[in-house]
Every structure is written in C-alpha cells, then in structure tokens.
A = this chain, B = another copy of it.
Amino acid sequence: MRPLPDEPSAALRGWRLRVYTIIFEADTRAGRWFDQALIVLIVLSVAVVTADSVPAIRARLHHPLELAEWFFTAVFTVEYLARLATVRHPLRYATSFFGVIDLLALLPTYLALLLPEAHALIDVRVLRLLRIFRVFKLPAYVVEYRSLGHALRASRRKITVFIAGVMMIVLVMGTLMYVVEGPENGFTSIPTSVYWAITTMTTVGFGDITPRTELGRFISSVMMLLGWGTLAVPTGIVTAEMASQRLVPLRTPTTRTCHECLTEGHLPEARYCYHCGAELPPWLHEPRNRG
C-alpha cells in the first residue's frame, strides 16, 4: 500500500516545485522553517498596527512603525505573488478560503493610501494565523480542528432553524418594546429596539438603553428568561453531535496539497486527490518521528 511517487507533472518541476513545496506544504525542514518565519512575521505586523493605534505610542513612534508596516506589506506581497506563480490554477487559489484571506491581508495597506481610516484593518491579517496548526503538533490539531468543524457542519440545519427563530423573536419583541416604551425612553426606532432586544436576549445587557415603564420592564423580564433558557438549545445541538462523533477515528493526515483544488490532508501513499480526482504532485518530505 505504499507505492513510490510518480514522475511529477510537466508543469511542476524544478524551482517551481521546490518553491511550491516550501510555501504550501510543511513536511520538509525548509517548509516548516518557512511556516514558522511566516507566523512570526504575521504576529509582528499585527502588533505594529495595534501599537500604532494607541495614542501614547503613536505620538512617539509613528514614523518607525509606519516604515515597519510597509516592510511587512512588501514581504507579504512578494509571498502572495509567489503563491500565484507556483500554483497551477492561480484563479482557483485566489478565490479559495485561504486565498481570499491572504488577499484581504494585503489590501488595507494599499487602501489606506486612499482612505486613511481603513488603515487599521491590516489586523485582518491575523486570520492568516489559521495556518498555524500546521507547525505545532501537526496531525493532532488538524484532526481536532476538523472534528469541531464536522460537528458544526452536521448540525447546520438545526442551527439554521434556531437562528431564524431567534431573528424573528428579536424583531417582534423589539417592535413591541418600541411601541410600549417609545422614543422618549431611548427606543428611538425599530432597528434600535431590535439592537436592544439582541443585547437583552443574549444576556449581554450593555445598559445604554433600558426600559423605564412597568409594562416595558415586565416584557423585558419575559425576554430575559426566554433568552436564558434558549441558550440551552444550541448547546444541546452541538453537544449531542459531539457525543455521537466519538466513535469515528480519523487517519493521520499530512499537509500534502492537491495542486488542482487545493484540498489538504492527503495520505502519504495517495496518488490522486480524494476531492477532485486530479493527480497529486510528488510528495517531498523528510522522515521524522510523529509525536
């Protein structure tokens, strides 16, 4: 069950294959080093933007911080172009989940040239850290991440029914409170009242808007008890799903990525992608203990 990898496909050879392996996969030493360096860069760039937003720090260090940001953006731009260059279907990468995140990580810096306020959105870059699990305790975390995602996907219909129900309740209750309390008590419009209804049903309770009339307070009390008890429902859904999942073992995947559809996690001995059927590029790796 362990055939040797085939000849690589014509287009993915030489330097392109090497770069591809480093960037997209993490089973070689260079691949892992790349991932770790990438994470450090992402964290630093986010820290730079965050620090720049604090008035005390901005006053003194704005210029160096701004230089650092342009440095990071340059690095990430080169990396993004490298990804586009070494993948067989650049468009498919650009529209995949991670591709979109990688693009959103770059745009704010350029956007800020036109719209200064968008500048802080560089922090969206932190979503790139979703790749982080490929470096630490590789197989185990990928398994857990999938297990969580699987439980949520399997319950998605129940969750949808539930959310739709909640939406309707907050709209009706919010309108009711708008009619009962009125703009002079803070409930200035139906959208505002719905915002209040959501803060109340989710038990956040900011307190920026509160009911003043007795009838309003009575209706609020009913809503609070309803919201409190309703929290039980999504919890029950997800828990029941997880409890029934514990009998399905998952084989340890690698970071091996299909060049056609970008699905990760193929078995070491696989020759074809289980998702789209395309031929997989040769798997370059260095053996190490799985711990």
Residues of A whose CB lies within 8 Å of any CB of B are: 46, 49-50, 53-55, 117-118, 120-121, 123-124, 126-127, 129-130, 132-133, 137, 140-141, 144-145, 147-148, 151, 157-164, 166, 168, 171-172, 175-176, 178-179, 182-183, 188-192, 194-195, 198-208, 210, 214, 217-218, 220-221, 224-225, 227-229, 231-246
Known contacts A171-B46, A195-B221, A231-B228: A53-B178 contact under CB 8 Å:
yes
Question: In the bound complex, do residue B130 and residue A168 qualify as a contact, i.e. CB atoms below 8 Å apart?
Answer: yes
Offer 30 A-B interface pairs, CB within 8 angstroms, sorted by A: A46-B171, A49-B190, A53-B178, A53-B191, A55-B183, A120-B190, A121-B179, A123-B172, A137-B157, A140-B157, A144-B161, A148-B233, A159-B229, A163-B229, A191-B214, A198-B221, A199-B220, A199-B224, A201-B228, A202-B224, A203-B203, A203-B204, A206-B210, A208-B210, A231-B231, A237-B242, A239-B242, A239-B243, A240-B242, A243-B243
The 3 tightest CB contacts between A and B, nearest first, are A204-B205, A236-B239, A123-B175
Known contacts A55-B188, A158-B147, A161-B144: A175-B121 contact under CB 8 Å:
yes
Q: Give how many copies assemble into the complex.
A: 4
Interface on chain A toward B: helix, strand, loop, or mixed SS? Answer: helix
Q: How far is the CA of A165 from the CA of B221 in the complex (A)?
A: 15
A69 to chain B, nearest CB (A): 14
Most buried by B among A118, A161, A201, A220: A161
B-chain residues with CB within 8 Å of residue A217 when the two chains form the complex: 191-192, 195
B-chain residues with CB within 8 Å of residue A235 when the two chains form the complex: 231-232, 235-236, 238-239
